[in-house]
Structure 1
Amino acid sequence: MNVSPHTRHSRKARAAAVALLCLAALTACGGQSTTAAAPAAAPPPTTRFSENGVTVTLSVSDWHAAKGTLTAVFTPEEKGFHLYSTELPLTGIEGVGRPTAMAVSGALAADGKLTAAADVRTISVPGVDAPVPVYPDGPVTTTLPIRADGTGDATVLLGYASCSTEKGCTIPVADRPVPLRITDEGPTFTAP
């Protein structure tokens, strides 16, 4: 059978169109494509503990060129409890309250100031003349810019106290250590 050049070209064009449609259908339906996918980013190093009525979740994010952000989320375990401001003096106001605090030592150093993602309000405490700065009831997220000073062991030191205007206060936590290991790849939390 003698096939004209126009018919051969038309068959090739149809075959190419069918192949493209099949590839598009595979890609749209989640099939394998011929291009390599970008590797998934590793989840940030995270650890958690609970002590004296508060659960603390720590994570390190945005780690590039030996710098990153250390985040601590302080979550009171009971409703109606608040945490004290990061700006509260170490011994509180007239002995009342303890600041929400986070510091680093060892192979890590602070690269900025600790900040909290919550508005400060003041409360009046019976027997205390000055107002006491606290965060609203519930969780408080704090962040601290950090940088590595080489590789090796590091420690995050945490402090906090939670109180309720109706139920009183929990025992304050001061300088609670959480160990980390700093490698060339970045920080990882280690078992105490």
Structure 2
Amino acid sequence: MRIGLSRRTRTAVALLTLAALTACGEQSAGSAAAAPPPTTSFTENGVTVTLSVSDWHASKGTLTAVFTPEEKGFHLYSTDLPLTGIEGVGRPTAMDVSGVLTADGKLTAAADVRTITVPGVDAPVPVYPDGPVTTTLPVRADGNGEATVILGYASCSTEQGCTIPVADRPVRLRLTDDGPSFAAAP
């Protein structure tokens, strides 16, 4: 006596197996696409800085830094502020790169610049509105290896004064064939 599956049952099993394999493939592809961009953060002198690298393709991407003052009522200075400020007041919000990573464009900020007057300073001082400021820098890699993101900023409040400026704050980044990754925080 021969026991076998009907043609309809065999077809149903084959379709279910194919559906299961396809779902596994879609889940794997979806998992890879959903991987978050490399990110790191630190807090220094009243500001939390969150760095990430996004849109990494063919050794190019975008480096994003979000500068968030810890206290309400604090602002950051414009990226266009001179290095020594206006009459010595303020320090620019800055991001640059070195090592195997180079800038592939200009640093931009996703906030409108406004000016404030500071007692004892004749010229207006360009600042961003109080709160977080997001900056972006297009970058490209000249091969695999070590890179450094170099940050600078200062935060101030018209009522509470300023925090100590941060200049040339390094954050280490490693570039491999798999893409960029931040070094573990010390």
Superposed counterparts of 1:90-129, under 5 Å: 90-129=83-122
Q: Does 1:169 align with 2:162?
A: yes
1:1-192 alignment, distance < 5 Å: 33-35=20-22, 36-37=25-26, 38=29, 39-41=31-33, 42-191=35-184, 192=186
TM-score, normalised to structure 1, is: 0.83
Residue by residue over 1:102-158, the C-alpha shift from the partner in whole angstroms, topping out at 9 and shown as x without a partner, is 000001000000000000000000000000000000000000000001111100000
Query: What is the distance in 2 between the residues matched to 1:34 and 1:185?
Result: 26
Number of the residue aligned with 2:3: none
Aligned residues: 170
Deviation at 1:40, TM superposition (A): 2.8
SS of the equivalent of 1:91 reads coil
The structure having more radius of gyration, on CA atoms, is: 1
CA distance in 2, matches of 1:177, 1:122: 29
Aligned residues with identical type, % of pairs? 83
> Who is 1:5 aligned against?
none
**Which residue number in structure 2 is paired with residue 8 of structure 1?**
none
Structure 1 unmatched runs, 5+: 1-11, 24-31
SS at match of 1:40: helix
| Gapped regions of structure 2 (runs ≥ 5) | 1-6
RMSD: 2.0
Distance 2:161 2:111 in 1: 22
Shift of 1:34: 4.2
TM value normalised by structure 2:
0.85
Corresponding letter in the other structure for 1:113? K
